[in-house]
Amino acid sequence: MIVTVTMNPAIDKTAELDQLEKGSLNRLNNCLTDIGGKGINVSKTIKAMGGETVATGFCGGSTGKLIEDTLEKLGIKSDFISISNETRVNLKIVEGKGIVTELNEPGPLVTKEELKELTEKLVSYASEDTLFVFAGSIPKGIEKDIYLELIPLVKSKGAKVFLDADGELFAHGLEGRPDYIKPNRAELEGYYNKDYRVTEEELLVMGKDLLSKGSSLVAISLGQMGALFLTGEVSVKCPGLKVDAHSTVGAGDAMVAALSFSLDKKDDFAESVRLAMAASAGAVTTQGTKPPSKELIEELKKKVEIIYL
Ligand SMILES: Nc1ncnc2c1ncn2[C@@H]1O[C@H](COP(=O)(O)OP(=O)(O)O)[C@@H](O)[C@H]1O
Ligand SMILES: O=P(O)(O)OC[C@H]1O[C@](O)(COP(=O)(O)O)[C@@H](O)[C@@H]1O
């Protein structure tokens, strides 16, 4: 069973306009609302691929209710801890020329009692058959080492863990030895304190260092340039697929979803890589944070090139 954990879900508002004029009145061409937050997007994509998940985390207020109701309509199981404060709204501004500006709220205050409830819930789901996806930022009231606290707890019951987080959350979380990770270029450059655009060789060195810290799969996503995938046995590079880009928001989550779905099914490495590339490129073609269709993913899978390094 795949359990996605979104501590800080969001309603994602995508505002589309030709060009953003700072300091002026901007009239939008279109505005879309999706339920989001990294783990929830992972659940949406796994559902689109024909898989099942349980989505958990914290949800509160009318925005939290909208998330839970929408998940139900989508046929995605959810089991959130209900909190007294309101789930956040994130704004994504998509300009005609493809520039995306993201304005993410910090999120509501979560109490110690609410966190205890979630921790107990996660432990109750943990078993050798569970893959947890811990993804995204954390709301107020929770410490930056929360993933380090939770990962060993569920791993001690035999569960596998996929971690997708940035900054301090990523750095602390790594100490919990997550099985699978998907940093993007900026996250890796930040973690290794590089204030310039690192080369592919440097990314591979970083990826191997991350493997030595305890992960068995490191996926390094590079936006339209594609991705690198490293295991203890093999390192590969996949050039980005040429697609008609609409919104890049959620592309990373689609890659995490595809890898989780495929690893949980025990697909072979090449199949997992193909699915990851196809699902993430497919996510870019959809509006807002909508997942790609299964048909599109199957079509794109045929175009994935895997270069063994
Ligand atoms: N413009 C694009 N064209 C094709 N594929 C893309 C594009 N942007 C992202 N992707 C795909 O999505 C993956 C994740 O995107 P990336 O931007 O690196 O992640 P994140 O959303 O976590 O920052 C990439 O590795 C790539 O496969
Ligand atoms: O928890 P964070 O880091 O604020 O990220 C949440 C945001 O990330 C997203 O999940 C998109 O993430 P990606 O573009 O990295 O796939 C949005 O749906 C959401 O608003």
Q: Tens digit of pLDDT for each residue in 151-186? A: 999 999 999 999 999 999 999 999 999 999 999 999
Residue 80: count other Cβ atoms within 10 Å of its Cβ: 21
In a mutational test of the pocket of ligand 2, which residue from 34, 147, 249, 260 has the highest number of ligand atoms less than 8 Å from its CB?
249
Cα gap 212→178, rounded to integer Å: 12
> Which residue's alpha carbon is at the smallest distance from atom 6 of ligand 2?
37
Instruction: Note whether ipTM > 0.90 here.
Output: yes
Ligand 1 atom at minimal distance to the Cα of residue 241: 4
User: Using an 8 Å Cβ cutoff, are 292 and 285 in contact?
Assistant: yes
Catalytic residue among 253, 264, 267, 268: 253
Look-up of token digits 């997708």: 164
pLDDT tens per residue across span 272-294: 999 999 999 999 999 889 999 99
DSSP-based three-state secondary structure for 160: strand
Instruction: Tell which atom from ligand 2 comes closest to the C-alpha of 41.
Output: 10
What are the chain's domains? Answer: 2-308 (3.40.1190.20)
Antiparallel, parallel or unpaired: β 100-103 and 160-164: unpaired
Q: What value does the mean pLDDT take over residues 207-233?
A: 97
Local structure of 173: helix, strand or coil: helix
Q: Enter the pTM of the model.
A: 0.97
Lookup: tokens for 179:
């099985």
64 has a pLDDT exceeding 90: yes
